[in-house]
Amino acid sequence: MLPSQRDAKSASEYPKSLSNWLELDYFRRPRRLKRVRGLLTWVVLLGSSALIAAITWLPGNRQIYQAASVSTAHALFNEDCQACHDAKFGTAKRLLSGDNAVRSVTDEACLRCHAGDVHHVRQVGKSACVSCHHEHQGLKAMARVQDSHCTSCHADLKSHTDTTKPGDADRPFRDVTTFLGGDRPHPPFFLSENPQDEGTIRFNHQAHMNPDGLLVAGSLERKTLRCTDCHQTDDAGRYMRPINYPIHCRDCHPLNVQVFGSITELAASEEADRFRNEPAAHPNGPREGPETVRAILRDRFIRFALQFPSVHTGRTRSEKSHPLPGRPKPVAAANPGRSAADWAEQQLGEASRLLFEGAGGCRYCHRVSAESSGEADRLPKFELPNINTRWFPHSVFSHERHRSLDCRQCHAQSAESRLTSDVLMPTIQSCQQCHNGKTQGARTDCVECHAYHAPHETRDSPRNLAIQDFLRGQAHPSSAKAHQVAPQLKTPLND
């Protein structure tokens, strides 16, 4: 109770005596709670500083600086920052200047292990490796860059291309901003309206895809062919192996050659049957031709004649070299007949006429470029197959990833094609059915189908690193200088 409420005298003296009973310096006196709170503040501050310093300088621990772990390819030196970050104070300079072009990883650090070829010999300017390949994004592949890195040039390709060479002024530039729609969409895979296959092998897809099957040589049964019977992928499951006659064609189209004339000896007759069932050789590569086939046939006929002399002398092998016991050895006749070489040449002439001149021989599939002549027994010349092994060399593709699809879902024209000149490759519309950018669809990124670094060139590794150097991500000291410059393209690209 206040003094003014106790008695009248105190009430009259209250304003004068207020300073006597009020403790005006109470807020300056230390209290226990205030002391404890201040102590805890300093403990937390000093402890946090010490913990940050310990984490910062703890050997082998650099996670405090990382947005995420490095990619799988660089996991070997995840704890060795200086293997890549060789620019001194690069991060601090970029932070203070605000210039994103300042890098803490130089191109030389990348070229110690990677042969980073240029993108195109006519490109204007050069981009740093880390301008496209961003590290510390977890297990994400560094090669999967954003489309903006590609469209920054390809949206206006002419301004980013060196057009100083003759003829470049009229060169068409096809700008691209997106794979789907837009004002500058991806161009068709074939720039011409009616592309033609330049192959020279006469082939009919419709006949080979007959659902009733095809007759196989030496058999009365019919065989139904599948696409994979002839079109087989490489070991990586990406592209199709070249068509090879012994592997893909010989079973149905054998080049059988027989021994002509009558054969009286039983053993020779049986060997002649085996001779007929063994197909003639087929050229293997552009350096071989009809001359190679004929040379191998000549050797086969000569071996046959030497094994069975009766075919050219009229005498059996037993009469010539194995007389009966107790009987005199037969005397050779005055005219023993033709020699083995003469008989082989006669047989070879008949076989060559059927193989090289007959409609059912080489001409059944191959196109003749020059007919045969009697001069020096010249054989006809056949054009090279010229089968295209890669239709889209500036893109990447994997048949293995599309193995669940029916081949005709993409190669829709194959079942009706009758001409070799028909191009049966997919169109961009067929790809856009799956690569549609929707929830139920595949990706449409540029790097999904295109590679940046020299898709035509074989890039070799340094191949001179020691194991410890490789684990550190650093080149051998004696060879570090050799990898400061990226190898240049040997041939220009067309796209």
The residue extents of the domains of the chain are 1-28, 31-61, 266-324+335-382
The helix/strand/coil state of 64 is helix
- Record the tokens describing residue 307, joined without a space: 């094994």
Q: What is the pLDDT of residues 220-244, one digit of tens each?
A: 788 899 999 999 999 989 999 999 9
The helix/strand/coil state of 224 is coil
Cα distance between residue 226 and residue 209, in whole Å: 7
Q: Is the separation of the CB atoms in 380 and 396 below 8 Å?
A: no
The helix/strand/coil state of 185 is strand
| Weakest-pLDDT range from 1-5, 64-68, 374-378 | 1-5
Residue 214 has a pLDDT of 87
Residue 485 CB neighbours (<10 A): 10
Residue 479 has a pLDDT of 38
Please tell me whether the overall predicted TM-score, pTM, comes out greater than 0.75 for this model.
no
Q: Report, as an integer, the average pLDDT of 194-222.
A: 88
Question: Which residue type does 266 have?
Answer: L
